[in-house]
Amino acid sequence: MKRDFSFLLLTIFVLGYLISCAPRPVGPVPVVVPLPVKSEMVSEDTLLRDARSALEARDDYRAYQLFGEYLSRFPNGARIPEVLMQRGMLAESFNDLDHASADYQRIISEYPHSIWAAESHLKMLAVLSRQQAYDKIIEKAPMALSAVQTPSKQIQVYQWLGDAYLAKENYPEAIFAYAKAYDLASSEAQASDELKTGINEKMESAVDPLDRADLESIVSRMDPGPAKGNLLFLLGNRLMAAEQYVDAQRVFSDFVETCPDDSRVMSVRETIADLENMAVGERTIGCLLPLTGPYSQFGLQALNGVEFALNQFTADDQNAPVRIIVKDTGADPQKALAAFWELANADVTAIIGPMVTAGLIAEKAQELGIPMIAMTQKDGVPQSGDYIFRNFITPRIQTSALADYAVNTLGVTRFAILYPAEKYGITFMHQFWDQAISHGGKLTKVEAYEPGQTDFADVIKKLIKRYKTPKAKDTQPVIDFEAIFIPDGSKEAGLLIPQLAFHDIRNVYLLGTNRWYSPALINMAKSFVQGGILPVGFFPDSVSPAVAEFVSRFENDFGQKPGFIEAVAYDTAMILFQVMGQPGMSYRSAIRDSLLSVSSYPGLTGLTTFREDGDVEKQIDLLKIIDDRFVELAR
């Protein structure tokens, strides 16, 4: 029995020791039993002294309790603001932010003229920041700014305000707040470089989501100062990276004027000088065309179109003068490359062409930042870079126009394709297939024949299903398509199309490419090709007044009707002339940007738009064969 009692005493002692050595809890203030008070007559000073002694002894819970006791016993005490501040700080240390903010708010509301008022504003904002109460920070920061007088404290308030706006994704107001903080820090001799760097980094994080227009608007509303200088410098570099040199030069000039003593002024002046040297002087366009060799006919036709455009443009005295430098590329890549370097050394503003070897030249033009509009069907040329464009009729443009008209105007949904098994036919087969499906149609038959073939019986029979009824002696054909697309030349199509009718393929729409645009097709296929539909890049007999005037004037100057090459070269030159005549076209990058904005340009070769990748979209003409003529279809 005695042993059991001794063991009980030992257990109580160990538990008491463990409890006394336990670490101070972290979290909300625990519920505390009120301390016994020895005398109801204890004075304010005594109670306050006891609370301070508990603080010095690091007995924070006792101090918190004593400060609370003071507030209860002496509601009109002279030291209430101080006591509220001390208790609020203790509540913060316990992570009891609601009680802390309540004490700080009481000082602000009831004792706005006490020596503790300014500090209570800062403490309140610090607590709200920890609570991520951004709306309350935005609400209370203006009062805090009027309460605190020292720049160092105002810097902190503006940072909290900027943080709150940034968290709310109100980037302009965040920038304004950080800018105030930065300007104050820059004027404070005691402000560290680390502090200014931190504020500037926050300001840049608020700038990042903004586009150029928003940033320029903000900068224009800022007061002159170091922060505005930083934003001007940032905006100038952003414009340089985007190759928007006209605006970059203007912004950098503003920077030099706003911050003449900034350490970056010298380097910015050097950048401005470089920009002035980069600016294009005389408006000069280079032309790379095959004037000799196997493609010389096309090159000479294109040259006629460009020269005709130049004559028309310069005939108007209101237009700025333009000079053209023409270089022969032949069909030789090395000759074309040498011609390109001659134009580059002549500092041309932009280049028209080439028609052949466009891929090689496009790479070099992109490297030097020279805007170039190629006149070629070659795949991938516009994708060489953001300075490279294409203005030409392509398989995609032709097949899109055909599919759109067939599905949406004729009501066709089922198609067949009969194509030559060579590059041209395969390319158009794939393009039409894609376009037919994208417009809501479907392919029921796709067959190929050998180039040069003249008897198409076997391949045509593959397009037809046949069945025999019990009473019929012969099989009957079943045609499960409403239109057939034949991407071949006029003579080849002239041989093939009559054989379709011979093998019972009748009453279907005949669709072709611009290679059908030849009297040879009508002469060979005659009645069998009636109603055939084809796209063309340019139709000289168009009812369009602009086309009629162009054809008339061109015939008067050159003694012959213009074709597609002359017309597309004319359109290309006119687009460049008009772009270069706009204000602010001092840099090649500005010309590039203006070309990218070309939309629905009313060209002779159709409404012309440059896509983001520099390739062209055109609304081209469709023709229908009626009797012995090609007739323009209304679209």
Residue 31 confidence (pLDDT): 43
Q: What pLDDT does 566 receive?
A: 98
CA 59 to centroid of chain Cα atoms: 61
Checking if the pLDDT of 15 tops 50, the result is: no
Mean local confidence (pLDDT), 523-551: 96
Domains with residue ranges and CATH for the chain: 22-131 (1.25.40.10), 282-393+543-617 (3.40.50.2300), 395-536 (3.40.50.2300)
Higher per-residue pLDDT: 55 or 584: 55
Asked if the model's pLDDT at residue 402 lies above 90, the reply is yes
Question: Any idea which residue has 């972290």 for tokens?
Answer: 26
The stretch 96-103 carries a mean pLDDT of: 94
Q: What is the pLDDT of residue 37?
A: 45
Report which DSSP code applies to 58.
Answer: T
Report the b/e string of 386-396 with b at 16+ CB within 10 A: bbbbbbbbbbb
The percentage of the chain sitting over the pLDDT mark of 70, rounded to a whole number, equals 92
Residue 304 pLDDT: 97
Buried b (16+ CB within 10 A) or exposed e, 107-121: bbeebeebebbbbbb
Enumerate helices (H) and strands (E) in the chain, giving the number of each. 25, 17
pLDDT in tens, 320-331: 889 999 999 999
Q: Among 383-397, 463-477, 617-631, whose mean pLDDT is lowest? A: 463-477
Chain segment 500-514, per-residue pLDDT in tens: 999 999 999 999 999
**pLDDT of 10 over the 90 cut:** no
pLDDT confidence tier of residue 78, bands split at 50, 70 and 90: confident
Among 464, 365, 473, 479, CA closest to 412 = 479
Q: Which among 417, 437, 415, 438 is positioned nearest to 427, based on CA atoms?
A: 417
The pTM of this model reads 0.69
pLDDT at 18: 27
136-175 pLDDT tens trace: 999 999 999 999 989 999 999 999 999 999 999 999 999 9
Q: What is the mean pLDDT of residues 297-322?
A: 93
Average pLDDT, the chain: 90
pLDDT band for position 135 (cuts 50, 70, 90): very high
Mean of the pLDDT values across residues 41-55? 88
- Region 98-108 average pLDDT: 94
| pLDDT at res. 16 | 38
| Structure confidence by residue, pLDDT tens digits, 413-452 | 999 999 999 999 999 999 999 999 999 999 999 999 999 9
